[in-house]
Structure 1
Amino acid sequence: MKLILFFFVLSINLLHAQKQESTLLSPLKADKFVGVDAFDRYYFIKDQVFYKKSPNDLKQYINLNLGDLSHVDISNPLRISLFYQDFNTVVILDNQLNPITQINFNNLSPLRILNAAYTAQNNSLWLVNTEQGILDFFNYPQQKTLHQSPPILSNQALYTANLTHFFEAQEDKIRVLNVYGNITQEFYFKGTEQLMATANYLYTYAKGNFYRLNLKTKEVLELDLYENDVKDFYVSKENLYIYKQNKLIYYQINTD
């Protein structure tokens, strides 16, 4: 473990991307920018309505009975997960934003009071219960937990996930968990303000700077760009989208 931590810190100091050039895209008025899929369709939340926008179409989903929309995960655009924390409920949508299923965790046993929910592989969800510090790998067609972590999660952390791994960013480190709830990697990294994961990389934003962690090689690349007051960001096809001040800014990431 000591060797891994040393390599992580060393790689931050050594690896830098070439200067990135930004492009200003169309203005976007949103409460939250969710992301962009592989077909360049935008997803965002405005006034508790979830939108999917393409050049010639605008789809929406709204469910006022469930209160505020807390989080949306578009990792799998054919199985989009919406989390409503006030009602402890997850809604799964198809690519047309039609409901596939709705899971009210108040009605399941054992009772789980969730703080976050993310899309996982094989019709499953990552379920975060910070009161108990537990991560569930939950299969929603079967409505049961397949694997569960010990009580190791911090209630002061930031979270994100891809389909195969879950990420917890604490004040001075980032931990990676697999579907069995085991910690597979742990890295020293201070000051994470936002993070998101793709299949092969973890992207972090800290004090105006962006970093890319290679999940296979453990190398960390500091992207040569600076953006302050970033509200939301997303990476699609290793291209970076930044949302701030009702503007969507695009960077084509150059890692040569």
Structure 2
Amino acid sequence: MKNLIYIFFLFTNLWLSAQDNVKIQIIDSTKIKAKSVFGIDTFGTLYYATANNTFNKKTKDTTITYANFQLGEITAANTFNPLKINLFYKDFNTVIILDNRLAEIFKIDFNTLQPYKNVSFVSTGFDNTLWIFNQDFQHLELYDYKANKVKQKTVPVQSEVLDLKSDYNHCYLLTQNYLYVYNYFGSLISKYKNEGYNSLAFSKAHLVLNNENSLYILSKESAEIKPIAYSNLLINQFLVTNESLYIYDGEILRQYQLKLK
């Protein structure tokens, strides 16, 4: 009898767990050869880098490019604000700001600033600001690059930083120990224990986390991180735009619809 009760509860828990999984449905796929895919907007505009470290903006009709070979490899690109795209070149501790035609409108060389900043992660802030992680002091700074002024800073974190994403209102900092969520004042509003996550993607509505070859989602309408149910795919990179999840395997960029309800 005890064994029957145990089996009942086991299958009940498995069924409930399955119900908690967020489901996805494939709706499109595109072949693309890219070194890194950085973003895709609601109009299908794709931002990516090729093997020669050229940054590309591809629409249905045209592709325009930007290259700065003196700065080497593009470590990260933030396309949240298409009028102020920022490219981060970590090896040279430099950020380039581009307009929507990929024309250079601002250059931030942290090596020449006073005080000097050793930056390891960069993401978009509001107006003329960037969220930057200061490696020497182990804290986030909301940095106004036109005024060369730190507007906000957080308390130092105590473990290795793995990823950083943001929009105008929130900033998500993933470390080995925790996922930290800050508002635009730099105040910590929530944190979650890192259950093996190593990278993240973020849009206005959802945050998606990667744990090896598994994906999880944290919706703005929920305080719970839920697994995403999908067939086992190679995840080279992943992106999220509104209700769409994109998974790139190195050859094909697949678009999935998130089914949250």
Q: Which TM-score tier does this pair reach, normalised by the shorter chain?
A: 0.7 to 0.9
Please tell me whether residue 45 in structure 1 is matched to residue 49 in structure 2: yes
Distance 2:175 2:89 in 1: 24
Q: Paired residue for 2:204?
A: 199
Distance 1:16 1:222 in 2: 5
Q: Paired residue for 1:149?
A: 154
**Relative contact order higher in (CA < 8 Å, ≥ 6 apart):** 1
Contact 1:75–1:163 (8 Å) recurs in 2: no
The residue identity in structure 2 corresponding to 1:35 is G
Q: Paired residue for 1:129?
A: 134
User: 1:141-184 deviations in whole A, cap 9, x for unaligned?
Assistant: 21211111222263343322223222222335311123333321
Structure 2 residue corresponding to 1:209, chosen from 204, 207, 214: 214
The alpha carbon displacement at 1:23 in A equals 4.2
Structure 1 residue corresponding to 2:115, chosen from 98, 106, 110: 110
The residue identity in structure 2 corresponding to 1:36 is I
Q: Paired residue for 2:20?
A: 15
Classify the secondary structure of the residue corresponding to 1:218: coil
User: 1:32-88 deviations in whole A, cap 9, x for unaligned?
Assistant: 011101211111001210001111100000011222211100111111010111221
Structure 1 residue corresponding to 2:97, chosen from 88, 92, 112: 92
Q: Paired residue for 1:56?
A: 61
Contact 2:95–2:109 (8 Å) recurs in 1: yes
Contact 2:87–2:97 (8 Å) recurs in 1: yes
Q: Between Structure 1 and Structure 2, how many residues are aligned?
A: 244
Structure number, greater radius of gyration:
2
Contact 1:35–1:233 (8 Å) recurs in 2: no
Classify the secondary structure of the residue corresponding to 1:132: coil
Distance 2:28 2:232 in 1: 13
User: 1:195-230 deviations in whole A, cap 9, x for unaligned?
Assistant: 112223211122332221123431333222144431
Contact 1:161–1:196 (8 Å) recurs in 2: no
The alpha carbon displacement at 1:99 in A equals 1.1
Q: Paired residue for 1:4?
A: none
Contact 1:113–1:129 (8 Å) recurs in 2: yes
The residue identity in structure 2 corresponding to 1:43 is Y
Contact 1:130–1:155 (8 Å) recurs in 2: no
Give the aligned CA root-mean-square deviation in angstroms. 2.0
Q: Paired residue for 1:225?
A: 230
Distance 2:56 2:194 in 1: 34
The residue identity in structure 2 corresponding to 1:42 is L
Contact 1:208–1:226 (8 Å) recurs in 2: no
Q: TM-score, normalised on structure 1?
A: 0.87
Of residues 137-146 and 162-171 in structure 1, the stretch that sits farther from structure 2 once superposed is 162-171
Distance 1:193 1:65 in 2: 30
Please tell me whether residue 30 in structure 1 is matched to residue 34 in structure 2: yes
Structure 1 residue corresponding to 2:178, chosen from 169, 173, 191: 173
The alpha carbon displacement at 1:234 in A equals 0.8
Contact 1:80–1:95 (8 Å) recurs in 2: yes
Q: Paired residue for 1:5?
A: none
Change (3 A) 1:201 1:153: farther
Q: Paired residue for 1:65?
A: 70
Q: Where do 5+ consecutive residues of structure 1 fail to align?
A: 1-11
